[in-house]
Amino acid sequence: MTDDSHEVFAVCYASHSRKRSENYIFGDPHDELTSISYYVWVIKGPHGVFVVDTGFDEVAAKERGRKLLHPVGEGLKALGIEPDSVENVIATHMHWDHAGNYDLFPKARYHLQDTEMAYATGRCMCHPMLRIPFSERDVHAIVSKVFAYRCEFHDGAEELASGISVHKIGGHSKGLQCVRVKTKRGTVVLTSDCIHLYSHIDEGSVFPITYSVGDTLEGYKTIQKLASSRQHIVPGHDPEVLKLYPAAGPGLENWIVRLDVAPKT
């Protein structure tokens, strides 16, 4: 297998209905009910399996009023992956909807940015407004992993394996990173929350939970350079992703899609 032979999947596990205006700083003139989707992502290739983010569980879903559709572990099993055999997890950032399920991968090493750990455990968490998207349980769990020698820290851009790299973007969360993967169709960027919805990058708008608006907007430019084209940019919460890409197999429609094949145009 060569570097560009990675298979990449988006595994949807939850959804949430909300007013469209809740998705943009300065609101949206078309204020109707819309939904956002929650995903984890999977990279399979010559270097094994990399799971990108760990999602949230039923307890957290109830606490925050979200609808869990398929537990994250079920999605991975549908792809033939046993969570307890996963060796690498990339934590794009520590927000509750990306960093829960912290016991699901007992053997994994967690890859995260220095800045995100400092942000999630430092003075900014003394501000209720900045703390909202973090769960104390998730942050304790990642600190425990540091002491168990299960965290690998990155600072900026770093290659984790040939054809898989992380890139610090910041903006939405101070140490947020995206993931760049080589595939047969070109270089795909899993943006996680660097770009929530296609409309954010297309219109230059910004999701309201944001540490730095300037870094978020600069991040859009960086991601456009990192990806082969706009069609290689995969936003972190857009329900359209499930419609644009083919199901990863029979029975997986509206649940798990292949991102290493071209989307519908």
Binding mask 193-222 for Zn ion (x = CB under 5 A): x-----------------------------
Among 53, 57, 97, 116, binds Zn ion (CB under 5 A): 97
DSSP assignment of 110-125: EEEEHHHHHHHHSGGG
Q: Closest CB to Zn ion among 120 and 226?
A: 120
Vertex 145, ends 141 and 148: CA angle to 5°? 140
Q: Closest CB to Zn ion among 94 and 164?
A: 94
In this structure, what DSSP letter does residue 82 have?
-
Q: Closest CB to Zn ion among 116 and 193?
A: 193
Binders of Zn ion in range 129-168 (CB under 5 A): none
Closest distance to Zn ion from the beta carbon of 197 (Å): 11
Given a contact cutoff of 8 angstroms between Cβ atoms, the answer to whether 202 and 147 are in contact is no
Q: Closest CB to Zn ion among 163 and 233?
A: 233
3-class SS shares of the chain: helix, strand, coil, % to 5:
30, 30, 40
Q: Using CB atoms, what's the residue nearest to Zn ion?
A: 95
Closest distance to Zn ion from the beta carbon of 73 (Å): 19
The answer to whether the Cα torsion of 200, 206, 209, 211 is positive or negative is positive
Q: Closest CB to Zn ion among 172 and 182?
A: 172
Vertex 126, ends 122 and 128: CA angle to 5°? 130
| 95 sits near Zn ion (criterion: CB under 5 A) | yes
Chain residues in the site for Zn ion (CB under 5 A): 95, 97, 193
